[in-house]
Structure 1
Amino acid sequence: MRRDVLASFVVFLVAIPLSLGIAVASGAPVAAGLIAAIVGGIVAGLLGGSPLQVSGPAAGLTVIVAELVQTYGWRATCTITLLGGLLQLGLGACRVARTALAVSPAVVHGMLAGVGAVLVLAQIHVVLGGSPQHSALSNLRELPGQILHPHSHPALLGALTIAVLVVWARLPKRAKGLGAVPRWIPGPLPAIALATLAAWALGWDAERVDLPGSLLDGWHAPVLPHGPLPGIVGAVVSVAVVAAVESLLCSVAIDRARPAGVPRADLDRELFGQGAANAASGLLGGLPIAGVIVRSTANVEAGARSRRSTVLHGVWVLVLALSCGPVIEQVPLAALAALLVVLGVRMIDTARVRALRHHREAPAYFATLVGVVALGLGEGVLLGIGIMALTALRRLTALSVRVEQLVPAAGDGPVPPRWHVVVEGTLTFLGVPKVTRVLQGIPPGSSVDLDLDVDFMDHAAFDAIHAWRLAHERQDGKVDIDEVHETWYENAVTGDMTPQRKSPPPARWWAPWADRARRAETGPELDAPDVSPSALLLAGVREYHGRTARLVRPIMAELAFAQKPEHLFITCVDSRVVPSIITASGPGDLFINRNVGNLVPRHGSRVPDDSVAATVEYATEVLGIRTITVCGHSNCGAMAALLAGGAEVEHLPGLARWLRHGNHSLARFLAAEPADGPPLARLCQANVAQQLDNLLTYPWLRNRVEAGRLELVGLYLDLETANVRILDRPAGTFVPVPGETPDDDPHDAGALA
């Protein structure tokens, strides 16, 4: 309770000047802002679903309210607010709150930035002693004349208010210490108080707040607005939807920052509470209400723990409005306008622009901002939604087409040219020109492997690809079409047009079992502590059968009776080294030899071992492989044992004998000049270079290398960064793979002798 009482007082101090300023900016009676703050605190606080959110008059609704007051009058605007609240009640009862969050944040933040710009353009006139015009563009046109001929007293009061707000925000927020300010004092309070004292003490001529003797003095029941019915309905929907979206977004943001022990927000209940508050505010003559991020953030930072803080803040506003009317009437309008200028500038959040640019949604933000300023709030929001719809359509129909000519291997004799085309994305009539342009550029008579990795194909796309295929085959070409996921093309050819069943999301096949949870459909949960190793293995096999086998079956069928790998890959048995991942290879690509420490025994070694030599002989003599790669890795246990002198493996006689083949690597490391990097990493790298030299001790293999028929490659995998580097043998260093930017990684930078 103590925390909630203190927090409610902090929010009350924030709410008073903002409520007065928003009422003035909206063209509504000043009392309407206080009524909205009271109702928002008490009614929305009691009935809403977000315990720590504070509701009241919001700057984001200022433009809408100002237009409504000018078009229909104040009492009719109250009716529109009441009807908007009833609409929110209905939406809350229908439990559609989550649907409101479907509006893109780019549009919402663009709308708020546009409202902020409109606020600044209107209130800067009040700060300078003038009156705002009826539109943002008119305010912009009149602004130079207002700047050239300001009224000195209001301008000085506005400048003083802005200066205090800026300085206050930069003061250290500590409870004690020289130059510090108490955490619970919000900046608007001293800014407005100082401006009010200055105007009163100096007797300056500046317009003041006009507050009635009582909040409900002169109250009259709301009246029905006069005008075209579509316009009135649009106004009600605008108030309801904009207030709802702003409240729900605020609720989500505050929910992320809620302290431990505070229940999660119920968005449907929050929408119901906002509807009840708007209905009550419209009936009593108050402004429209929404969740306000400034007050809600102040509530959380002040230590609030329950909805009591929100309700109490409304009670404090009520007490002030009933007992301190003469004090409020001393507040200069220029000071309130300056407060809104600062608030409007803060609503134009440049940090949002950077985040939206990263996701390529900045055009919708700027379109909404410009639309709100130039056309109006509703038109600007619709413009932003239209831009986002076009962006979403473009993303949904995004298509990537890659083509490459496959160069035949040397010694294969004359073979017809072969092309590989990959089409990825959603293949509709919009992508037909892009695909046909690539396909028609392939020479007649050539063989084409066409991979269709598409999640949808319409008839226009099928017709274009099928017509090209028939024409290409008539000219003695060959077309092999492979469909990676759904068989759209095959079904269209066979006439089976039953709805495609979406493939399950691809498994993270490259992740360890412990990182993947698979439930009943693929076996026991892979990260459950009581699952046996054999069960994990079988669960992985079931996952392979369920997700991958059908995709690789055509490839495996081709390879079933012969293999034609082009690379021999010698690497360590370490479980963290997965050759197919670091080389992005598939079945039939790599002929792999794995052993402890990726060692190659030298020709004529005193410790005989023919397993690696047998692999090399078969790879080069039978399979005709032309590249041998030795791949080492960081934190290799075999190299650590060598570095320790073999003491750690003395109890393992077989392993100890095998590691003698690494003595030349150890000698190479010891003879090298000292270099940067951990000793173990430098030994692991030196070992790769040494194994390439060991391969050259076989005379028949050296002859192939010198004749240019065999290439030796050294790779090094840094486990911590998952980066692979290639050995520059003349320089004796590992460098980035050609075509990549070097990574700033000290673990990869060792030099070799």
Structure 2
Amino acid sequence: MHHYPSMFSHPKEDSVAGFVVFLVALPLCLGIAIACGLPPVSGLIAGIVGGLVVPFISRSPLSVTGPAAGLTSIVLVEVQHLGGVNPFLTAVIIAGLLQFLLGVLRTGRFAAVVPSSVIKGMLAAIGITIILKQLPVAVGSDGGLSTMLSQHNAGAVSIALLSLAILYGWKYTPMAKIKLVSPALVVVVLASVTAALVSSNPTFALEARHFVNVPLGGAGALYSALPRPEFAAFMNPAAWMAGATIAVVASIETLLSLQAIDRLDPLKRHSPPDRELLAQGTANAVSGLLGGLPVTAVIVRSGANVNAGGRERLSALIHGLLLLGAVLLAGPLLNRIPLACLAAVLIQVGLNLCKPTLFTTQVKLGITQLLPFAITIAAVLVLDLLKGVIVGIVVGIVFVLYENSKRAVVAIKDDAGVWQMRFRRDGTFVSKPGIISTLEEVDDGETVIIDGTDEYIDHDVKEVLATFIEDAEHRNITVTVRGIDLTHAQGGGGH
């Protein structure tokens, strides 16, 4: 049994790390909510719930939970499909309940069966979706890509370009060495100051719709402004389908992030995946109930936690408490943040998910990795995230079956004219076409040695071999079989 130390065992290190993670998470919570078409406060609620609920259930020392860019496309589609935010929140609650059930059933280990090419394709498609959705926001347009040229604001464009310059130039500045300073937060502060400075200039002034809108007036005003789940939607099959979609994708993203963070952990600790599903399920149910976005373990926040020296779950808890304080006490400051700078932050997130090196790497890996990757991207963009991933998995399985069907048997004719046939991998039904093709190369009167020692040979293949042996008697072929029990195999079933 694993021993998990108390989350309060390293208060000094985790306090610093929690503050750093808060600085990273604040603009992301706001930006992701806006990208999803939900009130900014819904993103903050999701971040607060992720920080205050998950650490008490999870046993992952370094992962941090909050609203995820990877779910943006799902939220956009399902809010429209279900007819509004309120029934969507019910779907988030359903997703939480299903995730909790997945944890109880100990299904966390099965995330590893999703092909890496499909996962990379899913993330790349999410990145493309985020970029396409945020480009209009970055230029101050309320419409889509088609309205960017006709409806734009010079101030928003300038702020977005300045923000992207800072985000991408940050690593080249001395400030990058200071862990307490987040480039995203610097962007938010500078953009807010810039918007205030140009407010009297008619060319660059931003309108009220170009700023974040968080309810003011303390806890009471915040609570009254939060959207509520529509409990009648529990009877709607579409809400359950949406909940299942969120549960599956959120679970995959969480478990992938968990694996990545465990690799970054200096102490090389292992986070139990099933326990994490219980924690994430509880958090999603609470977030949906309170009017928040769906949450996952997020690699950006978690990576910031590792880099800032976090040691235990206390850092995630502190980040949640700081987000709560910001919502209750810093509303006027939050409402001075231009949406264009948050769009720039999200565009950088999207570009990181679909960066060119990802595509070139898949090309180098060959067609068996490139095609499932490309088909997954296309399917996600044309259909939706869950359907696209399912299409990608099916394509990936087809390629695996194709690869396993090739050359399951190595056949060499030695100097004495004897065929030496050796199974180099398990012989299953998908290998039958290749095995039959190999056996058909044997001419009448020749000698064959078939060796399946230490390999699994299923009944379908055994029937193929039994049929060949039965035919060999009439063709004067001498057959020796090693390591394969053909006692119950009947000839005639394989051809």
TM-score by length of 1: 0.57
Task: Choose 36-45 or 100-109, whichever is displaced more.
Answer: 100-109
Determine if contact 1:122/1:132 at 8 Å carries over to the other structure.
Answer: no
Identity %: 33
Paired with 1:421 and 1:223, the residues of 2 have a C-alpha distance of: 65
Q: Deviations over 1:412-456 (max 9, x none)?
A: xxxxx5444445434455544434444434443333444446521
Is 1:256 aligned with 2:252? no
Q: Deviations over 1:574-610 (max 9, x none)?
A: xxxxxxxxxxxxxxxxxxxxxxxxxxxxxxxxxxxxx
Corresponding residue of 1:480: 479
Is 1:20 aligned with 2:16? no
Corresponding residue of 2:162: 160
- Give the 5 Å matches for 1:322-471: 322-348=328-354, 354=361, 358=365, 360-407=368-415, 417-428=417-428, 430-452=430-452, 455-459=456-460, 461-471=461-471
Q: Deviations over 1:500-556 (max 9, x none)?
A: xxxxxxxxxxxxxxxxxxxxxxxxxxxxxxxxxxxxxxxxxxxxxxxxxxxxxxxxx
Corresponding residue of 1:526: none
SS state of the match for residue 212, structure 2? coil
Paired with 1:58 and 1:402, the residues of 2 have a C-alpha distance of: 48
1:62: Cα distance to partner?
0.9
Corresponding residue of 2:172: 170
Determine if contact 2:408/2:427 at 8 Å carries over to the other structure.
Answer: no
Corresponding residue of 2:6: none
1:463: Cα distance to partner?
4.8
Match of 1:42 among 41, 52, 73: 52
Match of 1:108 among 119, 136, 140: 119
Q: Assess, with a 3 A threshold, how the Cα gap between structure 1 residues 238 and 357 changes in structure 2: closer, same or farther.
A: farther
Q: Deviations over 1:74-130 (max 9, x none)?
A: 122222212222222333333333334443333333222211110001111211222
1:67: Cα distance to partner?
1.5
Corresponding residue of 2:90: 79
Determine if contact 1:123/1:132 at 8 Å carries over to the other structure.
Answer: no
Q: Assess, with a 3 A threshold, how the Cα gap between structure 1 residues 480 and 250 changes in structure 2: closer, same or farther.
A: same
Q: Assess, with a 3 A threshold, how the Cα gap between structure 1 residues 191 and 218 changes in structure 2: closer, same or farther.
A: closer
1:365: Cα distance to partner?
2.5
Determine if contact 1:221/1:283 at 8 Å carries over to the other structure.
Answer: yes
1:241: Cα distance to partner?
2.1
Q: Deviations over 1:645-696 (max 9, x none)?
A: xxxxxxxxxxxxxxxxxxxxxxxxxxxxxxxxxxxxxxxxxxxxxxxxxxxx
Q: Assess, with a 3 A threshold, how the Cα gap between structure 1 residues 430 and 156 changes in structure 2: closer, same or farther.
A: same
Corresponding residue of 1:240: 247
Determine if contact 2:136/2:142 at 8 Å carries over to the other structure.
Answer: yes
1:275: Cα distance to partner?
1.8
Q: What is the RMSD computed on CA atoms of the aligned residues? A: 2.9
1:328: Cα distance to partner?
1.2
1:225: Cα distance to partner?
5.9
Determine if contact 2:45/2:287 at 8 Å carries over to the other structure.
Answer: yes
Paired with 2:244 and 2:379, the residues of 1 have a C-alpha distance of: 19
Corresponding residue of 2:4: none
Is 1:64 aligned with 2:74? yes
AA matched with 2:63: Q
Q: Assess, with a 3 A threshold, how the Cα gap between structure 1 residues 305 and 435 changes in structure 2: closer, same or farther.
A: closer
Is 1:276 aligned with 2:282? yes
Q: Assess, with a 3 A threshold, how the Cα gap between structure 1 residues 395 and 155 changes in structure 2: closer, same or farther.
A: same
1:155: Cα distance to partner?
1.5
Determine if contact 2:466/2:489 at 8 Å carries over to the other structure.
Answer: no
Corresponding residue of 2:225: 218
Corresponding residue of 1:296: 302
Paired with 2:381 and 2:71, the residues of 1 have a C-alpha distance of: 14
Q: Assess, with a 3 A threshold, how the Cα gap between structure 1 residues 404 and 26 changes in structure 2: closer, same or farther.
A: same
AA matched with 1:162: L
Determine if contact 1:445/1:473 at 8 Å carries over to the other structure.
Answer: no
AA matched with 1:344: G
Match of 2:102 among 85, 91, 99: 91
Task: Choose 190-199 or 18-27, whichever is displaced more.
Answer: 190-199
Q: Assess, with a 3 A threshold, how the Cα gap between structure 1 residues 8 and 404 changes in structure 2: closer, same or farther.
A: closer
Select the structure that is richer in strand.
Answer: 1
Paired with 1:275 and 1:444, the residues of 2 have a C-alpha distance of: 64
Determine if contact 1:406/1:418 at 8 Å carries over to the other structure.
Answer: yes
Determine if contact 2:32/2:43 at 8 Å carries over to the other structure.
Answer: yes
Corresponding residue of 2:211: 208
1:256: Cα distance to partner?
2.6
1:152: Cα distance to partner?
2.5
Paired with 1:249 and 1:83, the residues of 2 have a C-alpha distance of: 22
Select the structure that is richer in helix.
Answer: 2
Determine if contact 2:198/2:205 at 8 Å carries over to the other structure.
Answer: no
1:165: Cα distance to partner?
0.2
Q: Deviations over 1:215-270 (max 9, x none)?
A: 2233454213659843221111112222222222222222232233x864233332
Corresponding residue of 2:17: 7
Q: Deviations over 1:710-737 (max 9, x none)?
A: xxxxxxxxxxxxxxxxxxxxxxxxxxxx
Corresponding residue of 1:146: 148
Corresponding residue of 1:117: 128
1:357: Cα distance to partner?
6.0
- Give the 5 Å matches for 1:341-740: 341-348=347-354, 354=361, 358=365, 360-407=368-415, 417-428=417-428, 430-452=430-452, 455-459=456-460, 461-475=461-475, 477-483=476-482, 485-488=483-486, 492=489
Paired with 1:234 and 1:58, the residues of 2 have a C-alpha distance of: 20
Corresponding residue of 1:557: none
Paired with 2:277 and 2:183, the residues of 1 have a C-alpha distance of: 30
Name the structure, 1 or 2, with higher relative contact order (CA <8 Å, separation 6+): 2
Bigger CA radius of gyration: 1
Determine if contact 1:399/1:426 at 8 Å carries over to the other structure.
Answer: no
Paired with 1:437 and 1:91, the residues of 2 have a C-alpha distance of: 44
AA matched with 1:339: V
Paired with 2:375 and 2:235, the residues of 1 have a C-alpha distance of: 28
Q: Deviations over 1:610-667 (max 9, x none)?
A: xxxxxxxxxxxxxxxxxxxxxxxxxxxxxxxxxxxxxxxxxxxxxxxxxxxxxxxxxx
Determine if contact 1:116/1:347 at 8 Å carries over to the other structure.
Answer: yes
Q: Assess, with a 3 A threshold, how the Cα gap between structure 1 residues 6 and 436 changes in structure 2: closer, same or farther.
A: closer
Determine if contact 1:161/1:335 at 8 Å carries over to the other structure.
Answer: yes
1:316: Cα distance to partner?
1.1
SS state of the match for residue 378, structure 2? helix
1:271: Cα distance to partner?
1.8
1:349: Cα distance to partner?
5.0
Determine if contact 2:463/2:490 at 8 Å carries over to the other structure.
Answer: no
Paired with 1:85 and 1:493, the residues of 2 have a C-alpha distance of: 51
Paired with 1:64 and 1:12, the residues of 2 have a C-alpha distance of: 25
AA matched with 1:217: S
Paired with 2:234 and 2:48, the residues of 1 have a C-alpha distance of: 31
1:201: Cα distance to partner?
0.4
Q: Assess, with a 3 A threshold, how the Cα gap between structure 1 residues 198 and 434 changes in structure 2: closer, same or farther.
A: same
AA matched with 1:374: V
Q: Deviations over 1:399-418 (max 9, x none)?
A: 4344444335xxxxxxxx54
Q: Assess, with a 3 A threshold, how the Cα gap between structure 1 residues 419 and 99 changes in structure 2: closer, same or farther.
A: closer
Paired with 1:302 and 1:357, the residues of 2 have a C-alpha distance of: 35
SS state of the match for residue 287, structure 1? coil
